[in-house]
Structure 1
């Protein structure tokens, strides 16, 4: 029997920007800002972090799924928030938002699945890569994204992506900002599974299987993978923040952000 409950999680805002439901021993966290392509603002990032803490502490939960509402997983950082705070330190912003979120996902003892239902770009790509497993819809695609607004990679992308697809490919897709379609993501090892009409079944089955697994062994195994494969993750995140702080001072970045908003006004 499937027991499903849906509760709006709104720790710092009265908006239902993050939805939480339970299904067969898994916690499903849905980024719910479809009008903003599920882009992350500070409140959504903090709500996701707190929801992950709750899931970690929930004895009934053996797995966590992160997905997006509508047809998009997430466009990454909400540029409107950054535009409104033009004097914000990007390094400090990363230290308060994505860096601890990425570390939290990696340090969480329970498996975390990214159910990528559509476009996944920028910081959201880093979040998906930090998850243990990625299941993508056939129509989904991944975009490094940062170079489009003259920024360096952050949210762990500079570490995760080369480990999955090699340094040459990672640099190419950073420089060109080309999308990586789901089929190619599967071929290169970014996506563990890709599904069309059976996408939701793939996600539900994987989550249920992991939720029934040996929790202590899963936690220790994840710790072993982290120590062997990602021992310098925190150092990389800190360095990304330093580089991003420099990038924000360049005129090219400001110009490209202005062009982004000009295009939005015209559309």
Structure 2
């Protein structure tokens, strides 16, 4: 059914795997649409109570597919893409299940927004977590502004966004950006164990609490997503963004001019 992700249901547990391992699960327009579709499918499935999100291969997700952004022969329709990016964030935040992100390798940009949108985040010690849109002259999307400030407050959210700082598991845990740090190679096993523990808990009451807390914030998330979309469309037209993606593809340091 899906080309770039896998959604497997095992009783009350659903496993959602980002599955473009050849590109470190970078999200192209197909994956973004499929993630939005998958969350809508899960939202209507009352049999599932826990959703475990992970990435195939050597990373959780390197974020948006920058090489595709730089392809002049097949340009991304940014306005269409932003619709699916917003669907992902709203779908994930409103899921009637407890969500776990099991992070190994990179969780960057939109991949990090996806992880931050989950209820529990476990990351391996040497994973690389970064809200690094700034490196290509963009703003966080996928609810990145919302999820970051919910975790750490506005002042620290600004610093993390503006610096694009890359953190390992311990640094992210210290800042309150994840919930558990585990040795390399252990995120998947920890995620499975946590899912098993949750399913042996009175999880219906946990899901009710999630709904109460998230319902109050949903309108704010929608507003932030709309502002992110407007800003991202504008940033895509800047000289700094063009320089950022050309430098990324060319593996050189960008020279930004604030335009």
Give TM-score scaled by structure 2 length.
0.87
Number of matched pairs: 250
- What corresponds to 1:119 in structure 2? 106
- Following the alignment from structure 2 to structure 1, what is the Cα–Cα distance between the partners of residues 38 and 166? 30
Give the CA deviation at 1:56: 3.9
1:208-219 aligned within 5 A: 208-219=196-207
Q: Are 2:3 and 1:20 equivalent residues in the alignment?
A: no
Q: Tell me, what secondary structure is at the counterpart of 2:251?
A: helix
- What corresponds to 2:255 in structure 1? none
Structure 2: segments with no counterpart, 5+ residues: 253-259
Give the CA deviation at 1:73: 0.6
Give the counterpart of 1:106 among 93, 104, 112: 93
Give the CA deviation at 1:41: 1.1
- What corresponds to 1:220 in structure 2? 208
- What corresponds to 1:3 in structure 2? none
Q: Aligned-pair RMSD on alpha carbons?
A: 2.3
- What corresponds to 2:182 in structure 1? 195
Give the counterpart of 1:258 among 240, 246, 249: 246
- Following the alignment from structure 1 to structure 2, what is the Cα–Cα distance between the partners of residues 141 and 123? 13
- Following the alignment from structure 1 to structure 2, what is the Cα–Cα distance between the partners of residues 101 and 35? 22
- Larger displacement relative to structure 2 (127-136 or 76-85): 76-85
Give the CA deviation at 1:49: 2.8
1:1-267 aligned within 5 A: 9-10=1-2, 15=3, 17-23=4-10, 25-84=12-71, 88-95=76-83, 97-196=84-183, 198-229=186-217, 231-263=219-251
Give the CA deviation at 1:87: 6.0
| Aligned residues of 2:143 and 2:224 also touching (Cα < 8 A) | yes
Give the CA deviation at 1:165: 2.3
Give TM-score scaled by structure 1 length.
0.84
Give the CA deviation at 1:89: 4.9
Give the CA deviation at 1:233: 0.5
1:55–1:154 CA distance, 2 compared to 1 (3 A): closer
Displaced runs of 4 or more, over 6 A: none
1:90–1:198 CA distance, 2 compared to 1 (3 A): closer
- Following the alignment from structure 1 to structure 2, what is the Cα–Cα distance between the partners of residues 121 and 193? 18
Give the CA deviation at 1:59: 4.9
